[in-house]
Structure 1
Amino acid sequence: MRPRFGHTELPEEQAHALAKAIRLERITLLVTVGTITLVLLVAGSSQAMKAAWIEDSLALLPPLAFLIAARFIRRRPTARRPYGYHRAIGVAHLVSGVALLVMGLYLIVDSGHGLVAGDHPPIGVMVVFGTPIWQGWLMVGVMSVVAVPPIILGRMKLKLAPLLHDKVLYADAQMNKADWMTALATIAGVLGIGMGLWWADGAAAILVSVDIIRDGWNNLRDAVRDLMDSRATTHDGAGPDPLPQDVVNTLLAATWVDEAEARARDLGHVLHIEAFVVPVDGGLPPLAEVTALRERCIGLDWRIQDLVLSVVEELPDELLPQLNGAGPHDE
């Protein structure tokens, strides 16, 4: 049986995309655990390596959040949960954002203190199979290797996120981008120490911390907006979700509709839409026509979990901020 979102069964393309996303997140967990182990083995006293290790550890959060949320969202609505469990996506998004932001702030304070204090991180020599090797080369080698999987996994997730309208999956793809950028910054910091630039390690750690803070803030901001029922946006938060306007266009195409507007509540993968129509000449249409129009709107896209259609005398401006020119991210 294919997964269900509320009372809506996923179309075949989205069902395959969800299954693929779950496989990718499981692979991501395995790769990240391996990365954490390798980085820990060669980290030494380098601030940049410490920051990279912590960011790699934090990279476990988005895939874990996605996999946990994916189990909840397939549950059917109940009397106690009439809107279903789709908000699990928003909760997972919020948890990831808070964890990233808090750890990023800790790292930037810790790394900045070391830089101001003038700490010179020692990078010693390790004996590998009886041969003494400067530990910095091992750090560079490990970070070069671990930078590759996030590039591949991130690009694959970016292709799936729009299909599923999944903000957690998109955030994880952005985290993968941060991972390989962190690896490059860490390599630069370690090589800087080798060249006698003691401050390069701390500077690289601060650069990594800033990137963690940026990811954390963006995820926290978007998660809070969705949970507060701000205007629905696209999966990447770049602008308003076009689906409510598609619903309005469909409503206006009906011969008995004079004016129409709609607003949407983003529940995660799916939307709950409230639509308002003013009939021509104020006359009440037959119930069959109202029902047919509602079904036509629901059939526009699999993401419309439900739609409430209200026939009113005039559009309720105070309930529709888009009528007053509010932007997609206005609070």
Structure 2
Amino acid sequence: MDQADKLKKGEKGAWLSIYAYVVLATAKLIVASIWNSEALHADGLNNTTDIVASIAVLIGLKISRKPPDEDHHYGHYRAETVASMFAAFVIVTVGIQVIIGTFGQLFADETARPGMLTAWTALGGAAVMFVVYGYNARLSKKIGSSSLNAAAQDNRSDALVSIGAFAGIIGAQFGLYWLDPLAGLIVGIIICKTAWNIFSEATHTLTDGFDEKQIKKIKTSIAKVREVKKVVDVKGRVHGNQTFIDVTILVNPNLNVKESHAITEKIEKFLREKHNITYAHIHIEPYE
């Protein structure tokens, strides 16, 4: 399966998230407004932002499938990362709105007791999102998609948020009315934390950040190749669901061009099979 096919397959996960969020957001907002639950209302708003975030992921996946052109010699894979960053801004905006709205309710003199239907709606929403999370987590790992992985983590956060809303509503049934708006406040904080995690990962990728531990593993693997005398340097960048590696190695100076080229092909194949690296630029220098 090539990269374009993997990205196309990833779109199924984005569509699944969109369908789930549309249904859950609609149900939660309607039930929350009728049966008075700040926690469920905050949860519904959270799912509303997730619709926008999932659409951004879907668009990013579609753009990433475009082949290289005159202006994008390495393809459009980073569109995935840009989509993730956009989603983070949308999510944090609503998170702040939820915090402001529920903070006032937390210190109100009177708080209406939410109906039990709001609790079951929240619990049902959690169950649905855990299923969606499981599907997207497996799919993102299979195709190596950073944006779909971010969507999967958001799915899991949403499930936990719904469980928190459920707990707050149940507490309110026993006279602890402040638990419902408190759960809403916690939901808002979790929304902002999720946005920060997505934003941090996206900015790290866009600024050519790369996992140091992964670099060490790659360097150690290349050093085990018999023809390589020394690994001078290894640099890495991430483009969407692809890893680009630049390697400088020292080899026997008496090798001819054909023999040196055979070493680079051997290393490229090794990196592709062992580390799933699809692009490696290997620079050869003579070993003194």
TM-score (norm 2): 0.86
Matched, 1:27 2:27: no
Q: Which runs of 5+ in 2 are unaligned?
A: none
Opposite residue 113 of structure 1, the aligned amino acid is G
252, 273, 279: which one pairs with 1:306? Answer: 279
Maintained 8 Å contact 1:186/1:204: yes
104, 112, 115: which one pairs with 1:122? Answer: 112
Opposite residue 262 of structure 2, the aligned amino acid is A
The alignment yields a C-alpha RMSD, in angstroms, of: 2.6
Residues 303-326 of structure 1: CA deviation (Å, up to 9, x unaligned): 434322223479xxxxxxxxxxxx
Matched, 1:292 2:262: yes
User: Hey, what does 2:97 align to over in structure 1?
Assistant: 106
Matched, 1:144 2:123: yes
Q: CA deviation at 1:154?
A: 0.7
C-alpha separation in 2, matches of 1:205 and 1:119? 17
C-alpha separation in 1, matches of 2:219 and 2:95? 41
Maintained 8 Å contact 1:66/1:168: yes
C-alpha separation in 1, matches of 2:183 and 2:218? 47
61, 81, 84: which one pairs with 2:75? Answer: 84
Aligned length: 282
User: Hey, what does 1:268 align to over in structure 2?
Assistant: 240
C-alpha separation in 2, matches of 1:273 and 1:213? 33
C-alpha separation in 2, matches of 1:275 and 1:195? 64
* Higher helix content, 1 or 2: 2
Opposite residue 230 of structure 2, the aligned amino acid is D
Provide the identity percentage: 21
Maintained 8 Å contact 1:86/1:267: yes
C-alpha separation in 1, matches of 2:244 and 2:72? 14
Matched, 1:209 2:179: no
C-alpha separation in 2, matches of 1:297 and 1:65? 36
User: Hey, what does 2:250 align to over in structure 1?
Assistant: 278
C-alpha separation in 2, matches of 1:199 and 1:175? 27
TM-score (norm 1): 0.76
C-alpha separation in 1, matches of 2:19 and 2:228? 57
Residues 100-125 of structure 1: CA deviation (Å, up to 9, x unaligned): 22322332233223323x253325xx
1:29-48 pair list within 5 angstroms: 29-44=18-33, 45-48=36-39
Matched, 1:197 2:176: yes
